[in-house]
Amino acid sequence: MPRNRRPLFALAAAALVALTQLGGAPSAHAATLFGDDFADGDTAGWSRSGGAWSVVADDGRALQQAKGDTDNARLFAGDPSWSDYAVQARVKPLTLPADGATALLARASGTTTFYRLALLPGNQVRLESVRSGTATALGATSRPVAAGTWYTLKIEVAGATVRGYVDGTLVGAGTGALAATGRIGVQTRYATARYDDVTVTSGGTAPTTPPPTTSPTASPTGPPPAGRSAVVARDGSGDFTSVQAAVNAVPAGNSARFTITIKPGTYRELVTIPADRPYVSFVGSTGNARDVVITYDNASGTPKPGGGTYGTSGSASVTIDGHDFTATHLTFSNSFDEAAHDYGAEQAVAVLTRADRLVFDDVRFLGNQDTLYHNSASNSAIGRAYFRGCYVEGDVDFVFGRGTGVFDRCEIRSLSRGSSSNNGYVTAPSTMIGNPYGFLFTGCALTTDSAAAQSVHLGRPWHPSGDVNAIGQVVFRDSTLGAHVKNSPWTDMSGFSWRDARFSEYRNTGPGSAVTADRPQLTDAQASTYTAQRYLAGPDGWNPTY
């Protein structure tokens, strides 16, 4: 959780504690010198030098610099006598034009002399020595830098040695003779940004690992992979403070299970598991899926900083391209607020899967339109996933795509759109014609928050870009259907008839399960070929069910 503000000059009174520093080695005598999470709503203890600084709401409270035409907006804190220390902050660029920068400062001996770790346009991060406004690079790396994304920046100063980290990965290191002491600070140049969870600890101990010379998708120089595990905690008590930083720590070409344990908190960030990082597991540390939430709020129509919009796939809070991924005891969410926007394209994906052999156990998927996009790597590829004891909520097409997915003993919850007759569609499959298996719901409960009776469809056939070979396949079997499910539960989409799709049911119960002429039912013989094991087996005989 965010830290409360601590006194600026706490060194003499602070108890010495053992603290493992993000991206660095443990310091045996690290003490907290300063901390500010801006929860009190002001900037007391900070001195201003240009810009328009205020505290705003952002998953809690955060410091914001909102003046984009200022070439050197700075805010300083701390004691000018501080020497060896580490300063860390979460930083989110809001706008980052071609000449812009968003930075964290250390050992500021004046308003224009300091060490600086800067996020730059063009996917660049640079560690610099700045004297009287003139910058000299100490190290740099190329890595994704996007407006609207939180990053954790850290600078360590120890004697003449300076090191900079982004999300736990070493950016650069060098020696400098600017000043032996100085305050900390934050800075923007022709940019706007937010800052949160600023902490300063004494010691400044730094590792000897050299900076990376390749892209950020290569094996990291920070912790781990030793032990093939990592811990993520927002309060800094783990190896990383962001989930993506932990994913980046997985070695490229990974061939064994790498477990990322995530401590309680809301992690507002975009997360991608790349195709070259298979066998990754996310595990919520408490065993309660509600305690760990990974979320973001892009929608299909959300404007991108460089122009255009994100589109449906680009709206995903979490994208999974690495095969054999698993997730347990956590929540994936897209927190896009439909009522606050009028984009015209409001698909907002919580999770996009494009990989094979995925397992989700006790996982919650939250959103509205297009919550869970279960897809595959290509039209010819099969992407299998097993969802056991999960919770999926939404309203329009909230389980969709061409993937092969088994939903076993899950709750599928339809949210009300306030209509008396049409509160949306549970599924929108685009299963390719050569694949006999799309979505199977077995032993599930179809529930609603408040949708009217007879107002929700089980599904409609999605033909992406009019693809006539996308012949959706869905079976609901042995499940309990609430009264919100229509007696004619399948419907057409974009001129394609549901009757040409592969939709059927088998032995469902509940007030929404009445068998009618518009509800194709499997025979007992047919039902034996539509089981979880049949859906998931594929050519390798995969069977994760239990």
Decide: 367 and 334 in contact? Cβ < 8 Å: yes
Q: How far is CA 244 from the centre of its chain?
A: 7
User: Whole-angstrom Cα distance, residue 139 to residue 465?
Assistant: 46
Q: What is the CA radius of gyration of the chain?
A: 26
User: Whole-angstrom Cα distance, residue 213 to residue 495?
Assistant: 52
User: Whole-angstrom Cα distance, residue 295 to residue 546?
Assistant: 29
Catalytic residue among 196, 356, 361, 397: 397
Helix ranges (DSSP H) in 274-368: 311-314
Residue type at position 139? G
Is 370 tagged catalytic?
yes
Cα distances from 412 to residues 381, 385, 474, 480, 535, in angstroms, run 26, 16, 14, 10, 19
Dihedral angle of Cα 382, 383, 387, 390, to the nearest 10 degrees: -140
User: Whole-angstrom Cα distance, residue 524 to residue 521?
Assistant: 10
Residue 483: CA atoms inside 13 Å, Cβ hemisphere, count? 6
Q: Which of 351, 155, 157, 315 is nearest to 243 (CA)?
A: 351
Residue in the block written with tokens 């783990």 = 238
φ, ψ (nearest 5 deg) of residue 451: -65, 140
Is 342 tagged catalytic?
no
Give the H or E element holding residue 245: helix 243-248
Task: List strand residue ranges (DSSP E) for 297-448, in order.
Answer: 318-320, 326-334, 351-353, 358-366, 372-374, 384-388, 391-394, 396-401, 404-408, 411-414, 425-429, 439-442, 445-448
* 439 token code pair: 């979505």
Q: Which of 398, 330, 343, 342 is nearest to 367 (CA)?
A: 398
Catalytic residue among 37, 370, 395, 408: 370
Sign, CA dihedral 331-332-338-340, equals: positive
Active-site residues, by number, are 370, 397
